[in-house]
A and B are shown apart, each in its own frame.
Chain A
Amino acid sequence: MFINLIKNEFYLESKSSYNLLYISFFAITCLIFLLFSFPLSKINDIVVFTGFFWIIISLSTIKLVENSFAREKDYNVYDLIYSSSVDLSLIFFAKLISLSLILGVVQFIIFLSYILFSDLNLTLFTNFILLNVVSNFGLISFGILIFLLTNTSTSKSFLFPLIFFPLIIPVLTNASNILFGIIIGEKSSLYIESWMILLTFALIGILLGINLFGRLIRQ
């Protein structure tokens, strides 16, 4: 059942040409930005890249979460899906995992483009993947919950990014901090506090999702 739900998310995502367009747009924007920033010193280059990287990822998160629900709401298939007997927390998990993976692909494309223009070692990827998994779970789970909170009949959809951005600032700053450490080759133990903050966000996001997703859907 769970596999079927994940299959559905990927299938619908692959049919949504707009998402691919947005993701490609962000990746290309990042590449162009990097090309223009090459004359800078290496340390400035890394600082700018890490910050810019997470801003793009947060924007992609908004787009992915919005599109995931928009295609359900556009022609009102929403009623048909959420009145089924399937456990709603399974739908939450399916969305969380599939959107995190898609976000991971975007992160991979951007990071790979950075590696191509710098002399970094590919061994960085292990830590990079771990960082993305932890931060993506936090970003996507909070994204889903805030989207549902701000998309009721009595509130407006523009509130989603307005509430989402301030809330994820700890994720963005700490993830940038860790990414900086990964790129310059410092030990992970130096960033233990940042890792803990990211992990806390991911866990709280998942726990809130399990408990609130159903209620927010059926409000």
Chain B
Amino acid sequence: MLKVTNLSKSFSNSSILKDVNFTLNQGKICAIVGSNGSGKTTFLKCLSGLMSYDEGDIDYSSQNGHLFLSDKLNIFGDLTIEQNLKVLLRYYNQDFNQAFFNESLQVLNIYNYRELPLKFLSRGNLQRNKLCVAMNLNWDYLLIDEPFSNLDYDGIKIFKNIFENFKSENKSIIFSTHQSNDNSFCDKVVIIEDFKEI
């Protein structure tokens, strides 16, 4: 279970997160909804350990830890999808599975781009590559910032299906979005401004 207690974060004198309390069990999908600049990314960065926070406590009681995918490209531009993944797997001290990798490329519809350096891929396909990384790494909590940006209708459908698959494997997903509609596939939707569940 992920348990956040009294988390506070401010930049200069501006308070972004104030006494946030939040829990999420394993195998759940949670959407963090809020307007631009409301602190969604800051919250995810604090959860990822990438950003220090002023007060509070974040406790993951899981074996495989978490994976943070920011809203940026998250790639080594000169590498192909496979090379990029292999480098990242080495950082996470995990092994590469060629068969599963090929399968994930097919599922995400990016198999035809496997030979291209990532810098030549479109934004939508780079977003799919991000999820390919998530599929091939082992984690218990996926923290993903704006996963549906730059995706077409089919892409969004594929992503939601993959999220459902993660859930069935008892993995949890926390993602941020500024769209409050169509989050019906989520177990929990939280408004970042007051951290109220809807």
Contact = CB atoms under 8 A, between A and B. Distances in A.
B78 A79 contact: no
A83 B141 CA distance: 12
Contact of B93 (A79, A83, A86): A86
A59 interface: no
Contact of A80 (B49, B68, B78): B68
A75 B50 contact: no
Given A4-B90, A8-B90, A77 B52 contact: no
A71 interface: yes
Given A79-B70, A80-B70, A85 B65 contact: yes
B93 A75 contact: no
A4 B74 contact: no
B104 interface: no
Contacts of B93: 1, 4, 86
B48 interface: yes
B50 A86 contact: no
B49 A83 contact: yes
A139 B119 CA distance: 32
Interface stretch (A10-18, A158-166, A176-184, A196-204): A10-18
B133 interface: yes
B48 A83 contact: yes
A80 B133 contact: yes
A75 B73 contact: yes
A5 B91 contact: yes
A199 B52 CA distance: 34
Contacts of B195: none
A219 B73 CA distance: 21
A42 interface: no
A76 B73 contact: yes
B77 interface: yes
Interface residues of A, number: 25
Contacts of A187: none
Contacts, number: 79
A12 B92 contact: no
Contact of A8 (B75, B91, B133): B91
| Most B C-beta atoms less than 10 A away, residue of A71, A76, A80, A84 | A80
A72 B83 CA distance: 15
A12 B76 CA distance: 9
Contacts of B88: 77, 80-81
A126 B65 CA distance: 46
A82 B49 CA distance: 9
B122 to A, nearest CB: 14
Nearest to B70: A79
Contacts of B73: 75-77
Given A80-B69, A218-B49, A75 B92 contact: no
A218 B51 contact: yes
A74 B75 CA distance: 9
A1 B93 CA distance: 6
Contact of B87 (A8, A79, A86, A218): A8
Interface string B42-68: 000100111110000000000001111
A76 B74 contact: yes
Contacts of B76: 12, 15, 71-72, 75, 77
Contacts of A82: 50
Given A218-B51, A218-B52, A84 B77 contact: no
B190 interface: no
B90 A7 contact: yes
Interface of B: 45, 48-52, 65-70, 72-79, 83-84, 87-88, 90-93, 118-119, 133
Interface of A: 1, 4-5, 7-8, 11-12, 15-16, 71-72, 74-77, 79-86, 218-219
Given A8-B87, A76-B70, 7 more contacts: A71-B77, A79-B45, A79-B50, A79-B70, A83-B67, A85-B92, A86-B93
